[in-house]
Amino acid sequence: DVDVEVTDTKNEPVFSSSQFTEFDIHPHIVSCLADRFGITTATEIQKLTIPVLLRGKDALVKSHTGSGKTLAYAIPIVQRLQEVRPKLSRNEGIYAVVIVPTRELALQTYECFEKLTKACTWIVPGVLMGGEKKKSEKARIRKGLNIVIGTPGRFIDHLEHTESFTLRNATWLAIDEADRLLELGFEESVAKILTVWKEQKATVCSTSVLLSATLSKGVERLAGLALNDPVTLDVAVEAGAAELEELVLPPGLSQFYVQVPIKLSLMTLACLVLEACVADAQKSSKIIVFMATQDVVDFEQSTFSAVLGSMFEDTGRRINFFKLHGEMSQHDRAEVFKKFREASTGVLFTTDVASRGLDVPQVDLIVQCCVPLRAEDYVHRAGRTARIGAEGKVVMMLLPSETRFLQVLADRHIALKKMDVSDVLKGVFAIKQQILDARTEKGAKLRSMEDYVTALQLIFEHEVNTDKDLLSMAKKGYLSHVRSYASYPKAMREVVLFKQLHLGHLAKAYCLREAPKVLGADRSAPIHGSHKEKAMLQPKQRRQKMVEVSEYDSGIGKGRTKKRKKGKK
């Protein structure tokens, strides 16, 4: 076991005892929350935030993802706008501005406002984001929008080039996921929007709210620009956490890690998926899998679809595999997000583009296949499950050389329980018959868990090596995986040790049967490493046998190799 010192994990309470009927909000909005959102009780952050904003006070809000903070500011905005008399009309222009870091979060926030304004249909929300046609956005702005949600770049574009886009009537400003805005380099853009906001609404009383999962110096600097004498609201502090900067997680979250030899990483991930999606025929599951790079996401999603997806294509237990990353077009990203949200069972492979703000109902399992850049990113990824009081599980896959990350988390009061890799791999038994049907090498009988895991790996390898597109994706995924180690900050390079990465075994994780040098590694982006690693780049003198149990020898079922060789012709 890994020796880690940790104090208690900090959990934020989610639901309060407060009913929406207790707040100073219109009965039509209360009914809308019950009918369209299915909620009657406020979350803790809503209980703290709604009264403050309704009083017209600015607020700095710290709360974990999945705590219901979008409604915490959306409800007061809609409540106050529906009170305006005579009633607002769309041609009066913008009364509320909501700034978010990503297009997905912009679309999701817009959908929240769209549902909420069904209680007062004369209030018109709209969304502005990159990837959409600017001409059609300008037409919507000219027609009239009262609540505008958008990304910083698009806001600035319209402020500079769309004559009808003015903030002179705006009385509400919300900056959501402020820490993520800073991470993505939007500080200057947001500051520019705030300057225009202050200039154009100089004579108008307004209310501003800034929301963030963490409160860094950068976030506090942004709060200083956006907020006037704000009330600071922190659920964790209210619940007894000692420090404002402490990382907190949803109370319904179970956290685990599994230590995996890299050559077993593909099969470990496959077995986690099988256990969640197939083992219990009566249960539907949603899984989000975080990968290191876009090329890795492309490979994993395509390969899992080709192997596990096709195994269940014509059955009642079909598994849909999706992907989401920043290089996809806005239309494709929105379509994937919509399909995954609506799916009963599905697996979404993604980069950290999905680690913040996205609200997907009933995500049961988060698998983190790569060590995040910081402890905060672990929390943001984990926050995709156990949302709004639900139960959820996160599994961190760690190489033996990466277990120091457990102490990084422990230093932030986050403790993970150990899962044994042998127990995880037993998930392969959920598809025994499918493996037997799909085997290309009929060979010896399959008896043990090791036999079935080996057979499944070979099915994956056969699929990749007989499909030109998959093979190309595998090579790109492998190379981008190696290069991803350069992206870790200096402080993390003693935690994620590239020098201990076995490049030959890594190739196995991408179903590549030849040593890396044979793959034609790109000279323009050489792979640096120790002398041992450079030696591994030489072509193997003899081809590895297709079936060799020792390839998976990681302490699981030692001694099987000789028996298997005996049975070979």
Report yes or no on 6 lying in a domain.
no
Q: Are residues 424 and 489 in the same domain?
A: yes
Helix axes 152-161, 187-200, angle to 10 degrees: 40
pLDDT at 487: 81
pLDDT at 375: 86
CATH number of the domain within which 257 lies: 3.40.50.300
pLDDT digits (tens, 9 = 90+) for 544-565: 333 333 344 444 444 444 444 4
pLDDT digits (tens, 9 = 90+) for 323-337: 988 777 777 888 888
pLDDT at 30: 95
pLDDT at 24: 92
Report yes or no on 44 lying in a domain.
yes
| Higher pLDDT pick, 508 / 353 | 508
Report yes or no on 245 lying in a domain.
no
pLDDT at 389: 62
pLDDT digits (tens, 9 = 90+) for 119-177: 999 999 999 987 667 888 888 899 999 999 999 999 999 999 988 899 989 999 999 99
Ranked by mean pLDDT, the top range of 482-486, 495-499, 507-511, 527-531 is 507-511
My answer on whether omega of the bond before 86 falls inside 30° of 0, hence cis, is yes
DSSP secondary structure letter of residue 545: P
Query: Would you say residue 427 has pLDDT above 80?
Result: yes
How far CA 158 is from CA of 166, 188, 230, 330, 466, in Å, comes to 9, 16, 29, 19, 50
CB-CB contact of 209 with 173 (8 Å): yes
Average pLDDT over residues 3-11: 55
**% of the chain surpassing 70 pLDDT:** 80
pLDDT at 123: 96
Q: How confident is the model at residue 202 (pLDDT cuts 50, 70, 90)?
A: low
Measured CA to CA, the distance from residue 115 to residue 28 in angstroms comes to 12
Measured CA to CA, the distance from residue 34 to residue 465 in angstroms comes to 53
Measured CA to CA, the distance from residue 463 to residue 97 in angstroms comes to 50
Mean pLDDT of the chain: 82
Alpha helices, DSSP H only, in 202-316?
Answer: 217-226, 235-238, 265-277, 294-304, 310-311
Q: Are residues 548 and 438 in the same domain?
A: yes
pTM attached to this predicted model? 0.62
pLDDT at 561: 43
Total structural domains within the chain: 2
Measured CA to CA, the distance from residue 469 to residue 77 in angstroms comes to 50
Q: Are residues 300 and 229 in the same domain?
A: no
Q: Are residues 194 and 288 in the same domain?
A: no
Query: Would you say residue 64 has pLDDT above 90?
Result: no
Picking from 208, 238, 268, the residue at the C-terminal end of a domain is 238
Picking from 238, 270, 295, the residue at the C-terminal end of a domain is 238
Q: How confident is the model at residue 290 (pLDDT cuts 50, 70, 90)?
A: very high
Q: Are residues 178 and 276 in the same domain?
A: no
Neighbouring residues of 561: CB distance < 8 A, sequence distance ≥ 6: 548, 549, 550, 553
CB-CB contact of 12 with 236 (8 Å): yes
| Higher pLDDT pick, 152 / 247 | 152
pLDDT at 315: 67
| Higher pLDDT pick, 489 / 189 | 189
Query: Would you say residue 522 has pLDDT above 80?
Result: no
> Regarding beta strands 172-175 and 365-368, do their DSSP bridges make them parallel or antiparallel, or are they unpaired?
unpaired
Q: Say which amino acid occupies 133.
A: K
Which two structure tokens, joined as six digits, stand for 551? 């390839």
**Total Cβ atoms within 10 A of residue 20:** 23
Ranked by mean pLDDT, the top range of 34-48, 193-207, 288-302 is 288-302
Average pLDDT over residues 42-59: 93
**Total Cβ atoms within 10 A of residue 185:** 10
CB-CB contact of 363 with 226 (8 Å): no
- Collapsing DSSP states into helix, strand and coil, what is residue 332? helix
pLDDT at 66: 64
Report yes or no on 547 lying in a domain.
yes
DSSP string of 80-105, one letter each residue? HHHH-SSPP-GGG---EEEE-SSHHH
Measured CA to CA, the distance from residue 428 to residue 567 in angstroms comes to 23
Average pLDDT over residues 530-543: 37
Q: Are residues 223 and 337 in the same domain?
A: no
Which two structure tokens, joined as six digits, stand for 477? 């995924």
Picking from 238, 273, 303, the residue at the C-terminal end of a domain is 238
- Collapsing DSSP states into helix, strand and coil, what is residue 518? helix
Of 194-198, 202-206, 431-435, 553-557, minimum mean pLDDT range: 553-557
pLDDT at 548: 37
Q: Are residues 263 and 224 in the same domain?
A: no
| Cα dihedral value 434, 438, 444, 447, nearest 10 | -20
Average pLDDT over residues 512-523: 53
Q: Are residues 376 and 333 in the same domain?
A: yes
Report yes or no on 569 lying in a domain.
no
| CA-derived radius of gyration, the chain | 26
Q: Are residues 205 and 331 in the same domain?
A: no
DSSP bridge pairs for 323: 349
Helix H, strand E, coil C: the string for 348-389 is EEECHHHCCCCCCCCCCEEEECCCCCCHHHHHHHHCCCCHHH
Of 15-19, 49-53, 242-246, 484-488, minimum mean pLDDT range: 242-246
Neighbouring residues of 362: CB distance < 8 A, sequence distance ≥ 6: 286, 390
Report yes or no on 10 lying in a domain.
no
Instruction: Sheet containing 320-324: give its strands across.
Output: 320-324, 346-350, 286-290, 365-368, 392-398, 253-259, 417-419
Report yes or no on 378 lying in a domain.
yes
Q: Are residues 232 and 260 in the same domain?
A: no
Q: Are residues 260 and 319 in the same domain?
A: yes
Determine phi and psi for 395, rounding to 5 degrees: -120, 125
Query: Would you say residue 457 has pLDDT above 90?
Result: yes
pLDDT at 527: 37
- For residue 157, count CB atoms less than 10 angstroms from its CB and return exposed for 0-12, middle for 13-18, buried for 19 or more: middle
Q: Are residues 146 and 290 in the same domain?
A: no
| Higher pLDDT pick, 202 / 561 | 202
Neighbouring residues of 198: CB distance < 8 A, sequence distance ≥ 6: none
* Helix/strand number for the chain, H first, E second: 23, 16
Q: Which residue range is the domain that position 385 belongs to?
A: 253-562
pLDDT at 145: 95
| Cα dihedral value 15, 66, 403, 351, nearest 10 | 170
Query: Would you say residue 182 has pLDDT above 50?
Result: yes
